[in-house]
Amino acid sequence: MKSSEERWLLDLRASARGDSRAYDLLRSLTDEVGPRFSGTPGEAAAVQWALEAMRRAGLANVRTEAAPTVLWSRGDERGGVAERVELLSPRRERLVATALGSSVGTVGGAVEAQVVEATSMEEIDRLGRARLEGKILYLHHVMPRLRDGTGYNAGGWARTAGASRAAKHGAVGFVIRSIATHSLRIAHTGILHYDGDAPKIPAAALSPPDGDLLHRLLADGGRVRLAMELGCRPLHAGESFNVLGEIPGTDLADQIVLFGAHLDSWDVGRGAVDDGAGCVMALEVARMIGALPKRPRRTLRIALFANEELGAGGGRAYAEAHAGEASRHYAAMEADQSDGAPWALRVPEHRRDSPASKRLAALLAPLHLELDPGPARGGVDVGPLHARGVPFVDLRQDATRYFDLQHSANDVLENVVREELDAATGAFATTVALLLHMDESLR
Amino acid sequence: MKSSEERWLLDLRASARGDSRAYDLLRSLTDEVGPRFSGTPGEAAAVQWALEAMRRAGLANVRTEAAPTVLWSRGDERGGVAERVELLSPRRERLVATALGSSVGTVGGAVEAQVVEATSMEEIDRLGRARLEGKILYLHHVMPRLRDGTGYNAGGWARTAGASRAAKHGAVGFVIRSIATHSLRIAHTGILHYDGDAPKIPAAALSPPDGDLLHRLLADGGRVRLAMELGCRPLHAGESFNVLGEIPGTDLADQIVLFGAHLDSWDVGRGAVDDGAGCVMALEVARMIGALPKRPRRTLRIALFANEELGAGGGRAYAEAHAGEASRHYAAMEADQSDGAPWALRVPEHRRDSPASKRLAALLAPLHLELDPGPARGGVDVGPLHARGVPFVDLRQDATRYFDLQHSANDVLENVVREELDAATGAFATTVALLLHMDESLR
| Residue B166 pLDDT grade (very low, low, confident, very high; cuts 50, 70, 90) | very high
pLDDT of residue B351: 85
Residues of chain B with pLDDT > 70, as a percent, come to: 95
Residues of B in contact with A270 (CB under 8 A): 93
pLDDT average, residue stretch A313-325:
97
Cis before B251? omega within 30: no
Residue A18 pLDDT > 80? no
pLDDT at B6: 65
CA B205 vs CA B41, B103, B185, B300: distances in Å: 25, 11, 11, 40
Render pLDDT for A199-213 as a digit per residue (tens, 0 to 9).
999 999 999 999 999
Q: What is the mean pLDDT of residues A167-178?
A: 98
Residues 146-185 of B with CB under 8 A from A: 183-185
Tell which of A76, A78, A417 to mutate to test the B interface (max B CBs under 10 Å).
A78
**How many CB pairs lie under 8 A apart between chains A and B?**
77
Q: Residue B129 CA to chain centroid, in angstroms?
A: 35
For chain B positions 116-135, those within 8 Å of chain A (CB to CB) are: none
Amino acid A403: pLDDT: 97
Tell me, rounded to whole angstroms, the distance of Cα A161 from its chain centroid: 18
Q: Does A218 reach chain B within 8 Å, measured CB to CB?
A: no
Determine the pLDDT at residue A2: 54
Nearest by CB to residue B216, choosing from A31, A45, A270, is A31
Does any CB of chain B come closer than 8 Å to the CB of residue A199?
no
Distance from CA of A275 to the nearest CA of B (A): 18
Task: Delimit the domains of chain B by residue range.
Answer: 3-69+237-437, 83-235
pLDDT at position B18 is 64
CA distance A183 to chain B (A): 7
User: Is B35 an 8 Å CB contact of chain A?
Assistant: yes
Contact check, Cβ <8 Å, B217/A31 = yes
pLDDT in tens, B93-139: 999 999 999 999 998 889 999 999 999 999 999 999 999 999 999 99
pLDDT of residue B201: 98
Whether A109 and chain B come into contact, CB under 8 Å, resolves to no
CB contact under 8 A, B184 and A183: no
The residue among A40, A104, A72, A29 whose CA lies nearest residue A310 is A72
Amino acid B294: pLDDT: 85
- Selecting from B93, B186, B213 the residue whose C-beta is nearest the C-beta of A185 gives B186
Fold of the CATH domain B83-235: Glucose Oxidase; domain 1 (3.50.30)
How does the average pLDDT of chain B come out, rounded?
A: 93
Q: Is the pLDDT of residue B277 over 70?
A: yes
Yes or no, beta carbons of B86 and A94 under 8 Å apart: no
Give the span between the Cα atoms of A431 and A360, in whole angstroms.
8
Is pLDDT of A80 > 60? no
Which whole number is the average pLDDT over A181-193? 97
CB atoms within 10 A of CB B68: 16
Query: Is ipTM strictly over 0.85?
Result: yes
> What are the Cα distances from residue B328, in Å, to B70, B381, B388, B391, B433?
30, 18, 11, 11, 17
Q: Is the pLDDT of residue A1 over 70?
A: no
Q: What is the percentage of chain A residues whose pLDDT exceeds 70? A: 95
Choose which CATH entry (2.60.40.10, 3.40.630.10, 3.40.50.300, 3.90.850.10) describes domain B3-69+237-437. Answer: 3.40.630.10
| Min Cα separation B8/chain A (Å) | 37
pLDDT at A408: 98
The single-letter DSSP state of residue A392 is B
The pLDDT confidence band at residue A78, using thresholds 50, 70 and 90, is: very low
Residues of chain B neighbouring A27 (CB-CB closer than 8 A): 216
- For the stretch B383-421, pLDDT in tens is 999 999 999 999 999 999 999 999 999 999 999 999 999
Nearest to B136 by CA among B191, B174, B100: B174
pLDDT value of position B379: 95
